[in-house]
Copies of this chain bind each other. A is one copy, B any other.
């Protein structure tokens, strides 16, 4: 007998029929002999509706009160799912964040879980109940309602799974799992059977939106096996788990892209100590997150610095950079919004050589110019012209033969 935590997103509980489906699926898992804890999000669109309600009243609603407001979305869902399960003849009980409690810090709107007390849930599941928990919400030490930020229900599910020492945390979503590439862009996209936590982190933060980054970090920290799968069919999805030998044999697991960034270049910056600190300190003070930073070796005491920010921050960042450029005597500023970042991600990169050159070669063969390059242990990213994005990722998918199952038996890697 296993203990399973199932998390259902907003589209899975969007209406009465789907709520009944969720109830049936939970009951199937229960009747198969498992203990079942269900975590649900707000019905699709509900959180946005509540935020709009607040924004129509006040442009900048108070953080504490906004969390009181939007946490009602999950409260509605847990009650409906519990009712549905009970109407089907099984015992069920809903829990809100404070009832468990799921303790968090006091950062309204993006609180972090600090502690989960599983005792009441353990008692209920031992008593035969299916427990239904409100995702996304918690309570701080002073008893205030908090919420965990977009996608926070994933983190609720993983945190519960960790505290309950669950055998698996199933994340039900509207896709079949994690793919080697966005299936909307490349029809040869292949569903991954397994992916490591680290790869998933790079995939998620790079724009594959199936799982909240914080949930993956949590899963990694407590070694919770996470099964990402569709709530609309019974197919096996993708298991997010600890790195194993098999994975290390695969150089590249997936390809991602991000069209949401813009780049800023400052030309002919005097190459003196403290310049970078001054520039990026000012940007950080304005709460702007910088992604890639490139500074090449200087010529004649002058250098160029290029970095990327999310597009919505471009205007604000440019104003700051202009002022700093004036102060430090840099020559000029260029900005470019028509860029995309394409990345290859793979745990096996650590032990395989030639990966970068395969990537650059694939892009070159399509005549795509690389503007910036950034590498980490398990990821290589290139910034290119935005219009080439789809062409680039398809070329990379092809180059690393991601449509084929990797040859893992003999440790050999498919190469072009």
Q: Report the Cα distance A86→B65, complex, angstroms.
A: 10
Q: What bracket does the count of chain A residues touching chain B fall in?
A: 35 or more
Partner of A58, one of B54, B78, B83, B143: B83
A273 to chain B, nearest CB (A): 46
- Assuming the contacts A66-B79, A79-B66, A79-B69, asked whether A84 and B98 have C-beta atoms less than 8 A apart, the reply is no
Residues of B within 8 A of A94 (CB): 64-65, 68
Q: Report the Cα distance A44→B19, complex, angstroms.
A: 26
Q: Report the Cα distance A93→B142, complex, angstroms.
A: 13
B99 near A143 with CB under 8 A, answer yes
Task: Scan A49-74; emit 1 where CB is below 8 A from any B CB, else 0.
Answer: 01001101110111011101101100
A80 near B98 with CB under 8 A, answer no
Residues of B within 8 A of A145 (CB): 96
Residues of B within 8 A of A381 (CB): none
A166 to chain B, nearest CB (A): 23
B80 near A69 with CB under 8 A, answer yes
- Assuming the contacts A57-B20, A87-B58, A143-B99, asked whether A75 and B69 have C-beta atoms less than 8 A apart, the reply is yes
Residues of B within 8 A of A61 (CB): 83, 87
A323 to chain B, nearest CB (A): 32
Q: Report the Cα distance A256→B106, complex, angstroms.
A: 53
- Assuming the contacts A68-B78, A75-B72, asked whether A57 and B96 have C-beta atoms less than 8 A apart, the reply is no
A82 near B99 with CB under 8 A, answer no
Task: Scan A71-113; emit 1 where CB is below 8 A from any B CB, else 0.
Answer: 1100110111011101100001110101100000000000000
A128 within 8 A of B: no
A281 within 8 A of B: no
A interface residues with partner B (beta carbon < 8 Å) = 16, 19-20, 50, 53-54, 56-58, 60-62, 64-66, 68-69, 71-72, 75-76, 78-80, 82-84, 86-87, 92-94, 96, 98-99, 143, 145
